[in-house]
Structure 1
Amino acid sequence: LDHYLTSSFASNLIEGVIRLAVLLGYMAVIGLLPDIRRVFAYHGAEHKAVNAYESGAELEVGSVSRHSAAHTRCGTAFLLVVVVVSILVFAVLGRPPMWLRVISRIALVPVIAAVGYELLRFSAAHVGNAVVRTIFSPSLMLQNLTTREPDESQIEVAITALKTVLEADGVLETAAAGAAD
């Protein structure tokens, strides 16, 4: 790109958009594989269970199944935010010599990931704000590529997994402890 563009900002921006297109294309293509569709259905079940828990709903199949398969703190959303932040950061840094470009990109990965994580946390905490919701809506839309509507057995697995984690964290009383009381 450097040979065709005089602006390093534009060159980095185009490179970032290509990187984003590759990521989206990859997610779309692997989502066509039957085994991956099944994994994506478990991913949707996980989101439904977490959404149900966070809304105070009963962790039962009927209740959980009515919740959304999208979640504001999804790892897919994190990937998108990290890619967008990296596009912006690298566009601003210009086009140093290749050796420096490689070193700076490696060195900035933890910083970009940390910024992306904080942005995702901020968006989840301010999901009621229309501006925040609009800015982060692509991350929720992207989850259409990485989640599928789960069946009841997948929802049961998600509920069991969530309850196990909540019990291990001491947030949810175990069934055995409740029976002993």
Structure 2
Amino acid sequence: MGEEVFKLDKNKKIHRTSIGGQAVIEGVMMRGPKGIAIAVRTPDGSITIDKKPVQSLSMKYKILKAPILRGIVAFFESMIVGVKSLMFSAEFYELEGEEEEQPSKFDKFLEKLFGDKLQDVLIYFSVITALLFGIGLFILLPTVVVGFIRKLVENHIVANIAEGVLRISIFLTYIILISRMKDIQRVFQYHGAEHKTIHCYERNEELTIENVRKYTTLHPRCGTSFLLIVMVVSIVMFSFISWQNIWIRLISRLLLLPLVAGISYEVIKFAGRSEHPVTCLISKPGMMLQKFTTREPDDSQIEVAIEALKNVLPENREDDK
């Protein structure tokens, strides 16, 4: 964690939680052990809360709570929840200052085809599209690029390292570029508010703007850190696969991706629950990367994050483990 947190709380017992969240358009989504809450600052200045119970496959099938498997499930479910949260927050702003448009013929066709299920179809389509984009850009593209120069590199270990370095370079470039976008910077402020609020709760302080404000915007369980760990784990795992036919290599990448996600989940979960020097070292690169994906929030944004967190708090601390 950030050094400022240790200085502020070195004598306080830290309460480890499984509470996480995500910044959305003018708001924050928080997910606790039993519920999800989205708090959005609407155009009129008020805060709207949407609460839902957690519905996870791991609750229905206990086998999915096993290490690695739980990470695979959490990865895909977090994407679905994230898209739903973004769509909910967007509803308050997409019609602001615009006249309502009549549905096109294609929109009417989709409504007729899917009926009440259209919203779910759009959500899953968005998740699949995002997955394909991410896999194509960060996983497959580096493999293809290095494949072109494979004849110049005889050692397959060197080729694997080159692929890994290119993968991380693309990822870091992508993060840095989007962090410069004005609209994204405001979302990153809410991202910072989310982290600050969780820090405050984990240190058993009352959730007030004054208490939350003093904490760092960096958190070891952040999704940004998770993605960076995915990159590192993929380098290690893929290095054991020799360079063969490019298509075999691409397919192997796709088949191993769920396992990579599962292992990465276990790594970040472990790192987020310990302050051992080794785990702090593991968390350090991801924490540094969060300097691009978080910004210092203002008090109104902190207020939104507090409202989101309050609406997912368990009835007692023992439930939140």
- TM-score, normalised on structure 2? 0.51
Cα offset for 1:159?
0.5
Q: CA–CA distance in 2 between the matches of 1:136 and 1:3?
A: 36
Q: CA–CA distance in 2 between the matches of 1:129 and 1:140?
A: 15
Match of 1:177 in 2: none
Match of 1:78 in 2: 226
* Amino acid of the structure 2 residue aligned with 1:63: N
Q: CA–CA distance in 1 between the matches of 2:253 and 2:309?
A: 36
Residues 85-124 of structure 1 aligned to structure 2 (within 5 Å): 85-124=233-272
* Amino acid of the structure 2 residue aligned with 1:135: I
Q: CA–CA distance in 2 between the matches of 1:133 and 1:27?
A: 22
* Amino acid of the structure 2 residue aligned with 1:80: L
Match of 2:280 in 1: 133
Match of 2:305 in 1: 158
**Residue ranges of structure 2 left out of the alignment (5+ in a row):** 1-148
1:59 aligns with 2:174: no
Q: Percent identity?
A: 44
Q: CA–CA distance in 2 between the matches of 1:156 and 1:146?
A: 20
Q: CA–CA distance in 2 between the matches of 1:171 and 1:149?
A: 30
* Amino acid of the structure 1 residue aligned with 2:190: Y
Q: CA–CA distance in 2 between the matches of 1:86 and 1:131?
A: 20
**Residue ranges of structure 1 left out of the alignment (5+ in a row):** 173-181
* Amino acid of the structure 2 residue aligned with 1:109: L
> What's the CA shift string for 1:136-160, capped at 9, x where partnerless?
2111111101000111111011101
| Correspondence for 2:290 among 143, 147, 158 | 143
Q: CA–CA distance in 2 between the matches of 1:13 and 1:59?
A: 45
SS at match of 2:150: coil
> What's the CA shift string for 1:31-74, capped at 9, x where partnerless?
11111000011000000000000111111100001111111100
* Amino acid of the structure 2 residue aligned with 1:148: R
Q: CA–CA distance in 1 between the matches of 2:258 and 2:282?
A: 23
Q: CA–CA distance in 1 between the matches of 2:304 and 2:289?
A: 24
Q: CA–CA distance in 2 between the matches of 1:114 and 1:132?
A: 18
* Amino acid of the structure 2 residue aligned with 1:43: H
- The structure with the greater share of residues assigned to helix is 1
Cα offset for 1:2?
0.6
Cα offset for 1:171?
4.7
Match of 1:20 in 2: 168
Residues 28-67 of structure 1 aligned to structure 2 (within 5 Å): 28-67=176-215
SS at match of 1:92: coil
* Amino acid of the structure 2 residue aligned with 1:95: W
> What's the CA shift string for 1:19-39, capped at 9, x where partnerless?
111111111111111110000
1:4 aligns with 2:152: yes
- TM-score, normalised on structure 1? 0.89
- The structure with the greater share of residues assigned to strand is 2
Q: CA–CA distance in 2 between the matches of 1:96 and 1:158?
A: 49
